[in-house]
A = this chain, B = another copy of it.
Amino acid sequence: MITSQTQNGLFSVIAAELSAVEDCLREPVRDSGALLSTVASYALGSGGKRIRPALLLLAARACGADQGGRLVTLASVTEMMHVATLVHDDIVDHSTKRRGQPSAAALWGSDVSVLAGDFLFSRAIQILVADGDMRILRAFADAIVSMITGEGLQLQLLRDLTISEADYLKIITGKTAALMSAAARVGALVADASQDMIEAAAAFGLNLGIGFQLVDDALDYTAREERLGKPVENDFREGKITYPLIQLMRTASVADRAMVEDLARREQLGDEDLAGLRALVERYKGVAATMELVDHYLGQARVLLQVVPESPACHALYRLLDFVRHRDC
Contact = CB atoms under 8 A, between A and B. Distances in A.
Nearest to A92: B111
Contact of A115 (B112, B123, B152): B152
Interface stretch (A68-76, A132-140, A215-223, A317-325): A132-140
B129 A141 contact: yes
A148 B88 contact: no
Interface string A201-224: 000000000000000000000000
B112 A110 contact: no
Given A114-B114, A137-B137, A126 B151 contact: no
A132 B134 contact: yes
Q: What's the number of copies of this chain in the assembled complex?
A: 2
Nearest to A36: B152
A123 B88 CA distance: 17
Contacts of A35: 152-153, 155-156
A53 B211 CA distance: 43
Contacts of A134: 129, 132, 134
A125 interface: yes
Report whether over half of chain A's contact residues are helix, strand or loop; otherwise say mixed: helix
A151 B115 contact: yes
A41 to B, nearest CB: 13
Given A92-B114, A114-B88, A125 B148 contact: no
A139 to B, nearest CB: 9
Contacts of A141: 122, 125-126, 129
Nearest to A142: B126
A149 B119 contact: yes
Contacts of A147: 122
A278 to B, nearest CB: 26
A91 interface: yes
Given A35-B155, A134-B132, A118 B115 contact: no
A303 interface: no
A256 B11 CA distance: 64
Nearest to A112: B155
A169 to B, nearest CB: 16
B110 A91 contact: yes
Interface of A: 31, 34-36, 88, 91-94, 110-112, 114-119, 121-123, 125-126, 129, 132, 134, 137-138, 141-142, 144-145, 147-149, 151-153, 155-156
23 contacts: A31-B149, A34-B149, A34-B152, A36-B148, A91-B110, A92-B115, A112-B155, A114-B114, A115-B151, A115-B155, A116-B152, A118-B121, A119-B152, A122-B141, A123-B145, A125-B125, A125-B144, A126-B141, A126-B142, A126-B145, A129-B134, A132-B134, A137-B137
Given A118-B144, A126-B142, 14 more contacts: A34-B153, A34-B156, A35-B155, A91-B110, A92-B115, A94-B111, A115-B148, A115-B155, A119-B149, A119-B152, A125-B144, A129-B141, A134-B134, A137-B137
